[in-house]
Structure 1
Amino acid sequence: MSATRMLDGKVVVVTGAGGGIGRDIALSAAAHGAMVVVNDIGAGLDGKGQDEGPAACVVQEIRSAGGEAVASLDSVADAEGAGRIVQVARDAFGRLDGIVNNAGILRDAFFHKMSDEEWDKVLKVHLYGSFNISRAAAPLFKEQQSGSLVHMTSTSGLIGNRAQANYSAAKLGIVGLSKSIALDMERFGVRSNCIAPFAWSRMISSIKVDTPEQEARVARLQQMTPAKVAPLAVYLLSDRASDVSGQIFSVRNNEIFLFSQPRPVRSVQRDDGWTPERIADHAMPALAASFHRLDVSSDVFTWDPV
């Protein structure tokens, strides 16, 4: 176990913790003193099926290293299931101090070809799931006047990627959710932050690779391990981050980024108001220099990870 115990005495739920980023966060949280609820339904990347094996294996890893952990197989996409995940923490350890909303699935498709099911399933797990478990924990956090929520967002939502309308919408929605939680729960000592992780995982391995640009993006991701994301998550769960809330971070190998948040960048004004023609002739030409390009994530992160 680590000599640095930033989470001693704390109880943490990590969703989607049976593998990838969630597993590394669960292991790191336990190594830093937390009692961990390892939540994972053990489903395939399409969200189908259920297997207790992944969560049980991570629990065993934590216990073998001298930590404390229990498994949870409930789905965050179901509000009642999210309530049971929170109850597992209370039953096993008597309290709950932090949640990492990491569970996710992918159903990639171009927007104009995306089915209702592909849209619904991804939003249910990512966005609804983050809302469900955060809301289930809110009364406990309010009562104890403390708590930390760490949500996994993505540059697919913050910047953009092709063939991921469902995933991008969910991940950007999580940013809005996190900010609202931070604002609404601030007076109760509850914090909420986002991490956009760059890391190779089972879920990311299903990304469509049908262009040289996508091949280059995947090649870069394969160099980045989930373990690189865990330290920031542990920090945000700890009391050392008591003044950090409503922020969007990213981890890219050994780099940590703080993301900007939408604010006005330029304005135009006419005392006598605007007509569509005036907008076309004057407003848009004046604003065009500040337009954002149709970037994808790889257009922004063009350098190799260090």
Structure 2
Amino acid sequence: VSDEAGVKDMVAQVMDAWGRIDILVNNAGILRDKTFSKMEMSDFRKVVDVHLIGSANVTHACWPIMREQKYGRIVLTSSASGLYGNFGQSNYGAAKAAMMGLMNVLHLEGARDNIRVNTLAPTAATRMTADLLPEQAQALLAPETITPGLLYLVSEDGPSRVILGAGAGSFAQIRTYETEGVTLTGDENTPEGVASAFDKITDAGGQQELTDAFSQTKKYALNAAKAQGLDLDWG
């Protein structure tokens, strides 16, 4: 999937055979685990090429087809290693965290053409985890326990811009929140001011889920205007 020419040929063969592409699941992946200090950058780059660039390559090849037919369902594959972190997986974690950013933008860009984009964050017993999990846990974490969640995400009535955690028949939505925060003005807006307000900055009370980057810009500008007694007409 990191070979752009190969991907285009693959997609062309699908179109020749069926004439349309309704569903794309980006699931290809590799591991090159080492601590960051011992990792060669070639191993970092290879993992990012397969997970991130590979997902972008295949999605980019399918995107104009889905736009033309006014229908598409796309799933990117993330991981708890990217969303929460995992020792020895800086390359894998960075690539998997990138799936959230790619999903967020493609969700916005695809909405008018009925293209829905979601992310699956699965955990399952595979050959990669054979030596890491107890035998009983491996039975519970069979890959097929994830499949119903994936099939819902790519269904006609499925959602968009959802990160679905899945494993052992458990499903949960993973969200990114921003705290209400504080606004520092004038002489307060210093490193020392940030330090003294840090408990309030990180207070989860009033936190919200933002829908796009501009929502954050608007929030900050309105907060600053309010703090300075200005009447900001955002429209």
Query: TM-score scaled to structure 1, two decimals?
Result: 0.62
Determine the C-alpha separation between the residues in 2 that align with 1:203 and 1:180. Answer: 31
Spell out, residue by residue over 1:49-106, the C-alpha distance to the aligned partner (whole angstroms, 9 max, x if none). xxxxxxxxxxxxxxxxxxxxxxxxxxx1111111122112112222211111000000
Aligned pairs, number: 203
CA drift at 1:153: 0.6
Cα RMSD for the two superposed structures: 2.0
CA drift at 1:159: 0.9
Does the 8 Å contact 1:110/1:164 carry over to 2?
yes
Spell out, residue by residue over 1:146-169, the C-alpha distance to the aligned partner (whole angstroms, 9 max, x if none). 011011110111111110000000
Q: Secondary structure at the match of 2:127?
A: coil
Name the residue aligned to 1:28. Answer: none
Q: Does 1:179 align with 2:104?
A: yes
Name the residue aligned to 1:159. Answer: 84
Determine the C-alpha separation between the residues in 2 that align with 1:221 and 1:248. Answer: 23
State, as a whole percentage, how many aligned pairs show the same letter.
35
Name the residue aligned to 1:226. Answer: 143
Determine the C-alpha separation between the residues in 1 that align with 2:202 and 2:179. Answer: 11
Q: Secondary structure at the match of 2:140?
A: coil
Higher helix share: 2
Aligned ranges 1:1-306 → 2 under 5 Å: 76-205=1-130, 220=137, 223-241=140-158, 244-261=159-176, 263-272=177-186, 273-280=188-195, 282-287=196-201
CA drift at 1:285: 4.2
Determine the C-alpha separation between the residues in 1 that align with 2:40 and 2:139. Answer: 29
CA drift at 1:288: 5.4
Query: TM-score scaled to structure 2, two decimals?
Result: 0.80
Q: Cα 1:219–1:126, aligned 2, differ >3 Å: closer, same or farther?
A: farther
Does the 8 Å contact 1:105/1:203 carry over to 2?
no
Stretches of structure 2 lacking an aligned partner (at least 5 in a row): 205-235
Amino acid at match of 2:150: A
- My pick for the range that moved more, 244-253 or 231-240, is 231-240
Amino acid at match of 2:168: N
Determine the C-alpha separation between the residues in 1 that align with 2:138 and 2:108. Answer: 33
CA drift at 1:141: 0.3
CA drift at 1:113: 1.4
CA drift at 1:221: 5.1
Amino acid at match of 1:270: L
Does the 8 Å contact 2:179/2:203 carry over to 1?
no
- Tell me which of the two structures has the higher relative contact order, counting C-alpha pairs closer than 8 angstroms and 6 or more residues apart: 1
